[in-house]
Amino acid sequence: MGNAISAYSLNDFQLVYNLVSLAVAAMLGTFVFLIFQRRSVAPAYRTAITISMVVLFIAAYHYLRIFDSWVEQLDGVLPFNEGYRYVDWLITVPLLLAELVLVLRLDKGKTKSLITRLAVASILMIALGYPGEMSPNGSTARIVWGIVSLIPFLYILYVLFVEMTKSLDDQPAGIKPIVSGLRWIILITWSFYPIAYFIPVIDGGVTGDVIRQSGYSIADILAKPAFCLLVYLIARRKSEADNFSEAA
Amino acid sequence: MGNAISAYSLNDFQLVYNLVSLAVAAMLGTFVFLIFQRRSVAPAYRTAITISMVVLFIAAYHYLRIFDSWVEQLDGVLPFNEGYRYVDWLITVPLLLAELVLVLRLDKGKTKSLITRLAVASILMIALGYPGEMSPNGSTARIVWGIVSLIPFLYILYVLFVEMTKSLDDQPAGIKPIVSGLRWIILITWSFYPIAYFIPVIDGGVTGDVIRQSGYSIADILAKPAFCLLVYLIARRKSEADNFSEAA
């Protein structure tokens, strides 16, 4: 819960607005790309691609809602609805984690146990962050819920990093550097979220809010469209390694 | 940043509005064409066609936003948002350059190096043009940022022209004239952009703004739908030269 929109300058307002619009374009553009490229990967990887498409479609929907909510607060009837981001994450984060595990193609028991643990941890992370997000910028509640939510956040990153490192030996030669790079990309892009969350604790004014909103939008662009394109690239390279080629 | 909308005559206002609407129709029409013709080219060219589709879809989204923003400025709540064009170019220009390189089918190392250099130069070009575009019509800032942005602009055209000329020898006989013509079409259509950008320096009034907005819309119609159809034509002719025919 941030400052009233009347406190924003036109530049501040438009920066958030343009980044939200960029997020819509990135989600929809990647969604369109995957619709038509889905059959360019072997059938074994297509479920992961479909999950990407679901994530991008749901995120595009929420970013369209965020865009409208951001503009409509100018009417003074309703405040900006921060809830859209949390509802979006509640659905898309477990899906993104599941597709990552699927594309790594670990053994069945491992896959199931990983997806379950990561899904539970991500739902906890988001549910615990939400009450803090709805608290005023400098409040103790924002700090306390934020710290509690960091526990499942760090657990997820730890599990992902360890498991992806372990899986490196089983990946075909051409894919190793991509999977290895992906570990770091996940670490870096995910770190945007706690930074954006805690910025209003340091700067409770409009600048803090603008950084938070912009930070979340940029993080979502990296963690969804950019991440889904990397998953596609891994699936495409693995398909090529299996001598798969698209039908005429 | 141009003149207030209250300074426009109805004719001026409607000329921009109708050209923006024409751009929406051209983007969506070409998008629909490629959806259904994608499988008429050999699998090797389909990624380039998909990239065209992503570009056209993202551009259609932005032209719909531009259309709404152009009309909504009449309410006097928010000014026209020039940012949409730059956000659009930031995504679509690197993609258009990448698909052009892909359809030329140069060797792998060359392809990767060209796409990287062209993507970096195009992002620089757009990022440097933006602060100038947001400056008043006759300002020094518009001139200086414009000139700085011309450096990566000229670099891109130079690299494209040289590389496309070099690739002519490797193109099948029937495709040579198309690739050769495409070099000139790129040079001519891209030259619309700096002209549109600098017009408000010469004419700071409404006429300058109308020429700029119309110029950008016409340039985008040439550089996106028209360009993507030429890329399709090259892919189709090359597929025929490889004796490819679509499955029944």
What pLDDT is recorded for position A47? Answer: 94
- Residue of B34, B39, B54 to mutate, interface with A, max A Cβ within 10 Å: B54
CATH number of B5-241: 1.20.1070.10
- Residue of B45, B49, B50 to mutate, interface with A, max A Cβ within 10 Å: B50
What pLDDT is recorded for position B98? Answer: 94
Give me the half-sphere count of Cα atoms (radius 13 Å) on the Cβ side of residue A201: 17
Q: Write out residues 67-96 of B within 8 Å (CB-CB) of A.
A: 77-79, 81, 83-84, 87-88, 90-91
Q: How would DSSP label each residue in chain B? A: ----GGG--HHHHHHHHHHHHHHHHHHHHHHHHHHHHGGGS-HHHHHHHHHHHHHHHHHHHHHHHHHHHHHHGGGTSS---THHHHHHHHHHHHHHHHHHHHHHT--HHHHHHHHHHHHHHHHHHHHHHHHHHTS-TT-HHHHHHHHHHHHHHHHHHHHHHHHHHHHGGGS-GGGHHHHHHHHHHHHHHHHHHHHHHHHHHH--SHHHHHHHHHHHHHHHHIIIIIHHHHHHHHHHHHHHHTT-----
Alpha carbons A246 and A186: distance in angstroms, whole number: 30
> Which tokens go with B133?
């575009």
Report whether pLDDT(A106) > 90: no
Q: Is A173 left (phi over 0), alpha (psi -120 to 50) or beta?
A: alpha
The per-residue pLDDT string of chain B (248 residues; one tens digit each, 9 = 90 and over) reads 678 888 899 999 999 999 999 999 999 999 999 999 999 999 999 999 999 999 999 999 999 999 999 999 998 888 999 999 999 999 999 999 999 999 988 888 999 999 999 999 999 999 999 999 989 888 999 999 999 999 999 999 999 999 889 888 888 888 888 888 888 889 999 999 999 999 999 998 999 999 999 999 999 999 999 999 999 999 999 999 988 888 87
With beta carbons under 8 A apart, name residues in chain A contacting B46.
36-37, 40, 246
- Residue of B28, B38, B46, B58 to mutate, interface with A, max A Cβ within 10 Å: B58
- With CA atoms as reference, the chain B residue closest to A244 would be B43
With beta carbons under 8 A apart, name residues in chain A contacting B53.
32-33, 36
- With CA atoms as reference, the chain A residue closest to B134 would be A11
Of A130-134, A175-179, B144-148, give the lowest mean pLDDT range: A175-179
Alpha carbons B210 and B212: distance in angstroms, whole number: 5
Partner-chain contact B54 A74, CB within 8 Å: no
What pLDDT is recorded for position A246? Answer: 83
Partner-chain contact B46 A32, CB within 8 Å: no
What pLDDT is recorded for position B175? Answer: 86
Give the pLDDT mean for A7-19: 91
CB of B81 closer than 8 Å to CB of A15: no
Quote the minimal CA–CA distance from B113 to chain A in Å: 18
Looking at the partner chain, which of B58, B244, B247 has a beta carbon nearest the beta carbon of A29? B58
What pLDDT is recorded for position B61? Answer: 98
Where b means 16+ CB within 10 Å and e means fewer, B189-216 reads bbebbbebbbbbbeebebebbbbbbbbb
Is B28 an interface residue toward A (CB < 8 Å)?
no
Radius of gyration (C-alpha) of chain B in whole angstroms: 19
| Residue B222: exposure state from Cβ atoms within 10 A (0-12, 13-18, ≥19) | middle
What are residue A55's phi and psi, to 5 degrees?
A: -60, -45
> Which tokens go with A206?
């409009």
Where b means 16+ CB within 10 Å and e means fewer, B12-35 reads bbebbeebbbebbebbbebbebbb
Give me the half-sphere count of Cα atoms (radius 13 Å) on the Cβ side of residue A224: 34
| Residue B226: exposure state from Cβ atoms within 10 A (0-12, 13-18, ≥19) | middle
Is B133 an interface residue toward A (CB < 8 Å)?
no
Question: What is the pLDDT of chain A when averaged over all its residues?
Answer: 93
CB of B85 closer than 8 Å to CB of B59: no
pLDDT tens track for A57-75: 999 999 999 999 999 999 8
Partner-chain contact B47 A40, CB within 8 Å: yes
Partner-chain contact B83 A18, CB within 8 Å: yes
CB of B81 closer than 8 Å to CB of A14: yes
- CA A54 vs. chain centroid, Å, equals 13
Alpha carbons A212 and A221: distance in angstroms, whole number: 14
What pLDDT is recorded for position A178? Answer: 87
What pLDDT is recorded for position A245? Answer: 84
Alpha carbons A186 and A211: distance in angstroms, whole number: 21
- Residues in Cβ contact with B241 at an 8 Å cutoff, skipping those fewer than 6 apart: B172, B174, B175
Partner-chain contact B87 A28, CB within 8 Å: no
Alpha carbons A152 and A125: distance in angstroms, whole number: 5
Looking at the partner chain, which of B53, B62, B78 has a beta carbon nearest the beta carbon of A25? B62
Give the pLDDT mean for A127-146: 94
What pLDDT is recorded for position A4? Answer: 84
Partner-chain contact B81 A28, CB within 8 Å: no
Q: How would DSSP label each residue in A137-166? A: TT-HHHHHHHHHHHHHHHHHHHHHHHHHHH
ipTM value? 0.93
What pLDDT is recorded for position B59? Answer: 98
Partner-chain contact B58 A28, CB within 8 Å: yes
Looking at the partner chain, which of A14, A26, A247 has a beta carbon nearest the beta carbon of B91? A26
Q: How many CB pairs under 8 A join A and B?
A: 67
Looking at the partner chain, which of B43, B49, B57 has a beta carbon nearest the beta carbon of A28? B57
With beta carbons under 8 A apart, name residues in chain B contacting A30.
54
Partner-chain contact A25 B87, CB within 8 Å: yes
